[in-house]
Structure 1
Amino acid sequence: MSYNRDNGRPGASPGETGRPKRRLKTKPLMILLLILLAGNLLWFIAWLIPDDPGGNEEVASVSGKEISRQEWMAAMEEQHGRETLLDLVNLKVMETAAQEYDIKVSDKEVDLELALMRSARDGSEQTLYSADGERVREKLRAQLILEKVLTKDVVIDESAIEAFYQENQSLYDIPDSYRARLILVKSTEEAQAVIAELENGSSFEALARERSVDAATGSLGGDIGYVVPGQSTIDEAIANAVAAVDVNNWSEPLTMADGRVAVITVTDKAKGRTFTYKDVEGHISRELALEQLPQSVTPEAFWQEFETEWFYGE
């Protein structure tokens, strides 16, 4: 794709001192967030539940043979039910753990994690795109509770925290970023036609799925995540234009380096900020402590302690 996103982490190249920048590990966070989509299906399924408890309403038909809502729901439960319930159970387990161990997680701590995920551009931020903001914050809060419980007895020397911060300050200087969607077509004429449809009230997301020649982003409604002006890992035309597009508006046709033409929209602006040592001291201490643990631990490790039972009975 012409707007290739970098899977590497920012600051991964050697710094002025000749030592490579370090990125704190995010694997536990990524594992927890990867089931976020499955968790969101619960709300979708709840919306689908009919007033008729029989669930015999027809939702589709093939050659006159109907597919009932009940069949549909059963198939969805079979494919996603376990993951959805696991997600809910683990959220409750972490809430209970917070009470048991007197763990507090502030909104500022969640804000910091969100900002760091947006700036990482290592693939972990992709899990933010398909869920509403409050659900993402719930997940991050649960993960922070887990990490605080696991590291509550681990002591990290303050000099180690300060050294990490001094070596990696650039990680905590977060620029403005813009969540964008893209429709990629073959010509300026096609792009103008897309803009005409947008002006007539068509959905950008629906048009991306229907008209974009880029299958990867088209399947996501054109979502390409958060873009920083001047970002080198995305096509220059987009990187230079994104800051000038108003939220919920769209750009003029943008000619890409490969000759194709894009129309972009901005759905959200995340204001950048610089986090001070005081802002990130706890974050660094906790992550350095996690590196000392012999293995990753998931919320399931606390199920027995909090007498957890569930439908699947495992």
Structure 2
Amino acid sequence: MRKYEVLRAVVILQAVCMVVLTVVVIVKVWPGNERQLGSQPPANVGSEEDPADSAGVDASEQDDGRRIVARVGKDTITAAELQGELYKQYGEATLRSLMVRRVIDLEAEGSELSITADEQTRELARMVEGYESESRYYEVMLEQLGMSKEQVLEDLRYRLLMEKMIIRSVHITDEEVDRYIADHPEEFEARTQLHLQWIMTESLKEANSVLELLADGEEFALLARTYSVDAFTADAGGDLGLIDVDDPFYNAEILETASRLQIAEMAGPIKVDGGYAVIRLIERQTTTAMSGRKLHDAVRKQLALAQGDSLAELEDALLGKYDATKLE
């Protein structure tokens, strides 16, 4: 699967999770907190009603859309306003995602396509490879993407189904597979990648101050957003993503230092172009070299996916085939 398509799928799934989470917050957290604290729902802006007159009104008794979920000074934000804003930002993508999953199920049923337990296990093993354990992989997915184990497995099932639909009409010969392996040996070698965060400062003094704050228990991501001068990563908490241990485009001292760190361990200051860096190792992923039938099957699938329709094209085709229509 092409990388940009994987990212697109993850972003859509995150949007779905965000909407669901927000509904949970609206329905359960806010009313529960108000009852627990014994506070009164704030009066609407411009209302002349005496706050004392509504002392006994519980927010949960209000109409769902008028329920107050936040207060800013004398102003209020209602559930309807929040839901409307969420729909404007994520509604289209979320609705499309739901429709796509429905038509995938219909196509799978009509074409008698399914994902066996063995296929899911093999793909999951590939995804988990390089993590300390399968449970650690699920922890990382929850921490970084907000996806539960059940959501990860469900997303995996849909992805494998879509891949089957894409490659079912694409024929790749043994000669094409062998030629690709011979031309791209570096793709199938064992490799180690480091998932890093960093905080870049202009001076050594600032870097040491950051280290002192970290030693006092301050959160790395928060300090990165506050103090890092790297505009490309500061807003993301200093996240540099996965980097090959021998990547020639990254500071060699940073990679050498990071390769010796334990998970969650920090180091610095390290001199870099433009200042000094403090780094933290989030994850170390090590993949093993593939060979034999496993290698040929993986390359055949990779070539078929490259020659077949893109995920977006498949989605559009299925939505059209099953007359999926958004109702205004």
TM-score, normalised via structure 2 length: 0.72
Match of 1:122? none
Q: Larger Cα Rg: Structure 1 or Structure 2?
A: 2
Match of 1:313? 327
Partner of 2:241, secondary structure, is strand
2:224 paired with 1:214: no
Match of 1:79? 89
Higher RCO (CA 8 Å, separation ≥ 6 residues)? 1
Quick one: which of 235, 243, 250 aligns to 1:234?
250
2:16 paired with 1:39: yes
64-73 or 162-171, which deviates more? 64-73
Shift of 1:223: 0.7
In structure 2, what residue type is equivalent to 1:45?
Answer: T
2:287 paired with 1:272: yes
The alignment-based identity, stated in percent, is 20
In structure 1, what residue type is equivalent to 2:123?
Answer: E
Partner deviation per Cα, 1:141-165 (whole Å, 9 max, x = no partner): 4233212112223332112112211
Match of 1:106? 120
Quick one: which of 191, 201, 204 aligns to 2:220?
204
Output the CA distance in 2 between the equivalents of 1:298 and 1:129.
30
Quick check: which one's helix share is greater? Answer: 2
Output the CA distance in 1 between the equivalents of 2:218 and 2:234.
15
Alignment RMSD (CA, Å): 3.3
In structure 1, what residue type is equivalent to 2:261?
Answer: V
The 3 A distance-change label for structure 1 pair 257 and 35 is same
Partner deviation per Cα, 1:105-132 (whole Å, 9 max, x = no partner): 423335546879xxxxxxxxxx999514
Shift of 1:272: 2.4
Quick one: which of 122, 142, 158 aligns to 2:174?
158
Contact 1:177 1:227 in 2 (8 A): yes
In structure 1, what residue type is equivalent to 2:290?
Answer: F
Unaligned runs of 5+ in 2: 29-59, 131-140
Shift of 1:308: 5.3
The 3 A distance-change label for structure 1 pair 176 and 83 is same
2:263 paired with 1:250: no
Partner of 1:180, secondary structure, is strand
Quick one: which of 303, 312, 321 aligns to 1:288?
303
Q: Paired residues, what number?
A: 277
Contact 1:110 1:141 in 2 (8 A): no
Unaligned runs of 5+ in 1: 1-23, 117-126
Output the CA distance in 2 between the equivalents of 1:114 and 1:313.
40
2:78 paired with 1:68: yes
Shift of 1:81: 1.6
Partner of 2:72, secondary structure, is strand
Partner of 1:264, secondary structure, is strand
Partner deviation per Cα, 1:15-43 (whole Å, 9 max, x = no partner): xxxxxxxxx85554454345344233234
Output the CA distance in 2 between the equivalents of 1:79 and 1:173.
42
Contact 1:101 1:149 in 2 (8 A): no
Output the CA distance in 2 between the equivalents of 1:138 and 1:299.
17
84-93 or 239-248, which deviates more? 84-93
Shift of 1:230: 3.0
The 3 A distance-change label for structure 1 pair 289 and 68 is same
Match of 1:57? 68
Output the CA distance in 1 between the equivalents of 2:307 and 2:268.
51
The 3 A distance-change label for structure 1 pair 178 and 277 is same
Quick one: which of 281, 290, 298 aligns to 2:314?
298
Contact 1:103 1:149 in 2 (8 A): no
Output the CA distance in 2 between the equivalents of 1:128 and 1:243.
25
